[in-house]
Structure 1
């Protein structure tokens, strides 16, 4: 299959139409880009011996695959016609809103950045990561089997956090010393959506209290339209973790049924002014833009009777092995830890009128 390369800024202003339904790859890279089983714009055959991660610099390049351009066109038109009052954003946090690579190293997750102040338990949690993470990203393990493994991993990790005496002070220090960074364009995306009262549900398999602290320290402001659905901690009067609230949320079971766990972010940050939509009113917004880095993230819209959904996937790792499955699952797939600017452009299109 020959896939077409275009400049990234043309994605929304001119999205190629294809009667054959073939994929389109849009790249912001000026120099020719090599990718397995894809042809460059010069139609020169790809060097099949190099892997995707060897050929693509994960910190500098940005590509997006559009599997079905005509279908995406139709979805954009449908959401625009309904108006932005019917739109909501559902987004994963780790490696979706945040970068997968930071300064050439693997960025930390909201689980991974935690340092309990107890080296013994930090080591134990790292050992769990070393064992379970390869299973999480393996394309060969069936989803049902993988879901059981993820439930097992999360349960063991949460038990270690409690047993190791995690304190909220340790969370603050961990975030301050962490290597976690938002993708370029995330702040602008949040600002655009807040100005139009478009709700953002952050669904995360991480830790709600840590995510709130990351937003507080890294963005230095709150957004009144953001709610977090994640694993929420319960602390005692001395600020030590004693339990977790509700059902465990892991990478393969995030869905709208966990909406009752969502807490308005501005309540946590002490800013109670402005609109506050409850779960019922959010569910009336039946057009969805879903952002995730895992195929399991598509389940975040389960339980929501949506009319139109555009799904955006960030494929950050195992690109060569996983591209085919991501291309089948998502409407757009960003490769190689790309920035959020394409999503900002997409949202501006979804909120525009025909005359704009």
Structure 2
């Protein structure tokens, strides 16, 4: 029954090409493979308890209603511009930098504390797709790195991973906006280059840190980053066509892209099918991705 349900949730535009890519990755071996995943609505569910699940940015309540309201006003203004078909990419990129910059400024000015991040995550309507833990375990056993790319906030994503999965994975790293807290746990600044919805790709790799490392100098590139760059086969997971850009900075040989189409399915399915190698619809669990990963890592043809 599970397989039939999985098949009905899975759409493949070019099955022969997908088979060819799986074979190519399988022949190269797991040591050449890495996984690049978006976070919100890709690793997490789109619908949670019948309502829209929160994003890692959206769940944050900074314990100061005035500043929460100001951030909401920015969202109401900039979010429609992010998806406007009439604004060119260059202008849109400037607008996104402006939005993220202002939002980060409000978080500092409004006195965000690490404690309010913990509380926000504990109270948030957010949960992972079924099978995320099993996927991470499968990849960890084979030493395959997972890079989570997000235009959100690394510290919140780490807290969501810690509190909702109750487990840490040594192969999981986060490429996202990282906060700097003072000794009293107050946010004082952000570290490194601003990552927004239109520039999150492998160029931001040097901001990645293992999820279990709370601190440490993350400014310089590490040997681990170089080894990731040598992994030239990619399994990419995203929920927006723009997520395909996450592997832009990488000189990959073979990439299998998986798209999660969570809503507005009828209108979007044809462009998702053309853009991604595999599409999972209706907020599908991760079982299909695990099956795909096991085919890519199989020792049999």
TM over 0.5: yes
**Cα distance in 2 between the residues matched to 1:190 and 1:163:** 37
Q: Residue 201 in 1 paired to residue 147 in 2?
A: yes
Among candidates 295, 298, 316, match of residue 244 of structure 2: 298
DSSP-derived class of the 2:55 partner: coil
- TM-score, length basis structure 1: 0.78
Pairing 1:257-268 to 2, within 5 Å after superposition = 257-268=203-214
Structure 1 residues 340 and 144, CA gap change in structure 2 (3 angstroms): farther
Please say which of residues 174-183 and 309-318 is displaced more in the overlay.
Answer: 309-318
After superposition, the C-alpha distances for 1:186-235 in whole angstroms (9 at most, x for unaligned) are: 01100101111111011111100011111111111100011111000011
- Hey, what does 1:150 align to over in structure 2? 96
After superposition, the C-alpha distances for 1:297-320 in whole angstroms (9 at most, x for unaligned) are: 111111211110001111223333
Q: Residue 317 in 1 paired to residue 256 in 2?
A: no
- Hey, what does 1:117 align to over in structure 2? 63
Q: Residue 242 in 1 paired to residue 188 in 2?
A: yes
- Hey, what does 1:20 align to over in structure 2? none
Pairing 1:265-280 to 2, within 5 Å after superposition = 265-268=211-214, 278-280=224-226
- Hey, what does 1:9 align to over in structure 2? 3
**Cα distance in 2 between the residues matched to 1:102 and 1:140:** 32
Structure 1 residues 328 and 95, CA gap change in structure 2 (3 angstroms): same
| Gapped regions of structure 2 (runs ≥ 5) | 217-221
**Cα distance in 1 between the residues matched to 2:85 and 2:5:** 29
Higher helix fraction: Structure 1 or Structure 2?
Answer: 2
1:139/1:321 contact within 8 Å kept:
no
How much does 1:142 deviate?
A: 4.6
After superposition, the C-alpha distances for 1:124-146 in whole angstroms (9 at most, x for unaligned) are: 11222233333434566554443
Structure 1 residues 133 and 8, CA gap change in structure 2 (3 angstroms): farther
- Hey, what does 1:15 align to over in structure 2? none
| Gapped regions of structure 1 (runs ≥ 5) | 1-6, 13-25, 28-62, 271-275
Q: Which has the larger radius of gyration?
A: 1
How much does 1:340 deviate?
A: 1.0
How many residue pairs match? The answer is 296
1:253/1:296 contact within 8 Å kept:
no
The structure showing larger relative contact order (alpha-carbon pairs under 8 Å, at least 6 residues apart) is 2
